Amino acid sequence: MADITSNLIEQVNDAIADKTALNLIGGNTKHFIGRQPFGQAVSLKNHTGVISYRPSELVITARAGTTIAEIQALLANNNQTLVGEPPAFNGKATLGGSVAAGISGASRPFWGSLRDAILGVKLINGYGEHLRFGGQVMKNVAGYDVSRLQAGAFGAFGIVTEVSLRVRPKSESTTTLVFECDAPSAIGRMRDLSVSALPLSAIAWCSGQLFIRLSGSQLAINHSIETLGGERLENQDLFWRSIRNFRHPFFSHRAQPLYRLSLSPAAPHYEQLGDTLIDWAGGVRWVYLDQSLSTLANLAALQGGHAACYRPIDRHAECFHPPSDTAKRIHQNLKMAFDPHSLFNPGRMYSWLGRDEAQGDNSQ
């Protein structure tokens, strides 16, 4: 358990003086997501420790370098767990990195995301100030939930040093059922199940099999099994962990870019996309395609969704869905308010959100 906040502030102040870009690193488990990072490495791996945990209030606060695995182990002692099932990546993923990437597991449609659970953060901004957010208003960003803005921002607005989260009780029992069906049938069934009263906690489809996870009281699960039928999945924890940690065999193919399409769960299955893994009860479609981001973004937009390239061949190309002009302007205004010198992970999300790697200048 260590607090290196003063050292982190010193590194930020040095970067301000030297106009040096900073590459923020936690467990380095999600380095493959987004554009190519650059700049002087700032590691939060040693900024660790649970600061407070109140089981009766379902609230925990920990430093950014604390691993997800350590937090989950502590919560398990009180039969509790993190909201959103963030991937642990073999025990190396950190809380700060998980917030920065904004990744949640299969329970997201039913229990909410890690972002939803954020109650507050501490953050070092581009002025070298260590600020607390969670009811606090910052000049030029009033009206925004600053704490939750950090989720999925890839460190663009500062160094998150501490996070407070709402946690949830663990379910009494969990069972996963397996059914044989094709993708169009699976999507139809996902749509019907999502409006049912069944104790669902995850639904996914891959390679001709539909996986339905039930979590709740044993009585409710037994009743659901009688209603649904299907075969029980052995080693269910291993299966769901393999999906959220990108360890499922589907993710082993690396010859083509890996795209994540976030769509309406009711969106049809697109045969032209080829091999697909469907998660989030139809809301997420993983595909491999030798096509441009703009092509996939246009397809996703037709269904009210967006696209992202999670494992690009060209790390210097855009990886995330292009925002509207209004959203782009908001991104840039927030960047200027938090990080006027474009120190933090410049260009990691978008080429225009920070300085240019080759020239080192500010592109805002």
Q: Report d(CA 300, CA 302) in Å as an integer.
A: 5
Residue 135's pLDDT band (boundaries 50, 70, 90)?
Answer: very low
* Over residues 343-363, mean pLDDT: 76
Task: Please check the confidence at residue 219 and state whether its pLDDT lies above 50.
Answer: yes
Radius of gyration of the chain (CA): 21
Q: pLDDT per residue over 60-74, tens digit each?
A: 999 999 999 999 999
The pLDDT confidence band at residue 359, using thresholds 50, 70 and 90, is very low
* Mean pLDDT, range 335-359, rounded to an integer: 88
| HSE-up of residue 332 (Cα within 13 Å, Cβ side) | 13
- The pLDDT confidence band at residue 248, using thresholds 50, 70 and 90, is very high
pLDDT of residue 355: 75
Judged against a pLDDT cut of 60, whether residue 341 lies above it is answered with yes
Q: Compute how many other C-beta atoms are within 10 angstroms of the C-beta atom of residue 59.
A: 16
Q: Please, what CATH class does the domain formed by 5-170+324-338 belong to?
A: alpha beta
> pLDDT-based confidence at 280, cuts 50/70/90?
very high
**What pLDDT shows up at residue 139?**
46
Q: What pLDDT sits at residue 143?
A: 53
- pLDDT tens per residue, range 164-215: 999 999 999 999 999 999 999 999 999 999 999 999 999 999 999 999 999 9
Q: Is the pLDDT of residue 141 over 60?
A: no
Distance CA 294, CA 64 (A): 34
Q: What does each C-alpha distance from 171 to 29, 208, 237, 289, 316 come to in angstroms?
A: 28, 28, 14, 38, 43
What the block records as the tokens of 12 is 């930020």
- With b meaning 16 or more CB within 10 Å and e meaning fewer, what string describes 334-348? bbebbbebbbbbbbb
Percent of the chain with pLDDT over 90: 91
E-only strand ranges, the chain = 22-25, 40-43, 50-54, 59-63, 80-82, 118-124, 130-133, 159-169, 173-180, 200-206, 209-216, 231-232, 258-262, 276-279, 284-288, 306-311
- Provide the pLDDT for residue 356: 61
pLDDT category, 145, cuts 50, 70, 90? confident
Assess whether pLDDT exceeds 70 at residue 136: no
Tell me what the mean pLDDT of segment 74-90 comes to.
Answer: 98
Residue 364's pLDDT is 39
DSSP bridge pairs for 60: 53, 165
Domain boundaries, the chain: 5-170+324-338, 173-311
> What pLDDT is stored for residue 137 in this prediction?
40
* pTM for the structure as a whole: 0.93
3 state DSSP class of 162: strand
